[in-house]
Structure 1
Amino acid sequence: MAHDRPQDSAEVVIPPHIYGFPGVGFGGYAAGILAQNLSAASVKVNFRRPIPLGSPVALRRTEDKGYELTDAEGALLTAQECDEVAVPPSVPSWDDAVEAEKRHPLTNSPFATRDCYGCGGDRAPGQGLRQNFSQRPEQRMVVAPWTPDPELGRGRTVLTPEQMWGALDCPGGWACRLFSDAPHETVTAYMATTVTKPVVLGEDHVTFGWVLSKSGRKHMVGSAIATRDGELCARTEALWLTLPSQV
Structure 2
Amino acid sequence: MVTIARQFNGPPDSGNGGWVSGLVAEAWLGRGHAGPTTARLRMPPPLDTPLAWEHDADETRLMTHGGAVVGTAGPGAFTRDAPPFADAETVTAGLKAYPGFTTHPFDQCFTCGTARGEGDGLRIFSGPVGGDLTAAPWHVHEALVEADGTAGTPIAWAALDCPGGWAADFSAQPMVLGTMTAEVYSSPVAGRTYHAVGQLARREGRKFFTSTALHTPEGELVGRSEQVWIQIDLATFGS
The alignment's TM-score, normalised by the length of structure 2, stands at 0.88
Select which of 172, 178, 190 maps to 1:201. Answer: 190
**Corresponding position of 2:163:** 171
CA contact (8 A) 1:106 1:112 kept: no
Identity %: 27
State the 1:107 CA deviation.
4.3
Matches within 5 A, 1:26-175: 26-39=16-29, 40-62=34-56, 64-71=57-64, 72-84=66-78, 86-102=80-96, 104-111=97-104, 113-136=106-129, 138-153=130-145, 155-175=147-167
CA contact (8 A) 1:225 1:234 kept: yes
CA contact (8 A) 1:19 1:26 kept: yes
CA contact (8 A) 1:87 1:235 kept: no
Taking the aligned partners of 2:203 and 2:85, their CA distance within structure 1 comes to: 22
Select which of 2, 5, 27 maps to 1:15. Answer: 5
CA contact (8 A) 1:17 1:127 kept: yes
- 1:196-238 CA-to-partner distances (Å, cap 9, x unmatched) read 1111111110111110111111110011111111111111111
**RMSD over aligned Cα atoms:** 2.1
State the 1:58 CA deviation.
0.6
- Structure 1 runs (4+) greater than 4 angstroms displaced: none
Q: Give the count of matched residue pairs.
A: 230
Is there any run of 5+ residues in structure 1 with no aligned partner, and where? 1-10
The alignment's TM-score, normalised by the length of structure 1, stands at 0.86
- 1:47-69 CA-to-partner distances (Å, cap 9, x unmatched) read 1011110010112213x331010
CA contact (8 A) 1:144 1:206 kept: yes
Which amino acid in the other structure matches residue 136 of structure 2?
Answer: A
Taking the aligned partners of 2:19 and 2:7, their CA distance within structure 1 comes to: 12
Taking the aligned partners of 2:103 and 2:233, their CA distance within structure 1 comes to: 21
Q: 1:21 to 1:245 in 2, by over 3 A?
A: closer
- 1:32-79 CA-to-partner distances (Å, cap 9, x unmatched) read 1111122222100011011110010112213x3310101114211011
Say which SS state the counterpart of residue 149 (structure 2) adopts: coil
Is there any run of 5+ residues in structure 2 with no aligned partner, and where? none
Say which SS state the counterpart of residue 139 (structure 1) adopts: coil
Say which SS state the counterpart of residue 36 (structure 1) adopts: helix
Q: Is 2:220 aligned against 1:231?
A: yes
- 1:172-218 CA-to-partner distances (Å, cap 9, x unmatched) read 1111126xx9611x211100112211111111101111101111111
Range that drifts further, 90-99 or 52-61: 90-99
